[in-house]
Amino acid sequence: MAVQVFSPAFVRLQEHVRKSAVAFVGLQEHVRKFVTAFVRLQEQVRKFALAFAKKRLLKHPSFPAESSR
C-alpha cells in the first residue's frame, strides 16, 4: 500500500475546510435556536392579540351584557 504525502498547503486547506464546517454547524445550531425562540414569541403575541381582541369585543356597546342573556 502506497503512502500519500500531501503538500503543506493542501493540509492547511483541509484544516481550514474542517474548521469552516465546524463553524457552519455551530451557526446552524444558533439559527435553529433563534427560529425556535421566534416561533414561541409569535405564538405568545398571537395569544395576547386574541385575548386583547376578546376583551375589547366584550366591552363593545353592541355586545350583549351578561345580565341580558
Q: Averaged in consecutive runs of 10 residues, what is the pLDDT profile of the chain (69 residues)?
A: 83 97 98 98 96 84 61
The SS3 assignment for 27 reads helix
C-alpha separations of 25 from 12, 17, 18, 30, 31 in Å: 20, 12, 11, 9, 10
In Å, how far are 24, 32, 50, 53, 56 from 43, measured between CA atoms? 29, 17, 11, 15, 20
pTM of model > 0.85: no
Q: Which amino acid is at 40?
A: R
pLDDT at 64: 65
- Cell numbers for 59, please give them: 366591552
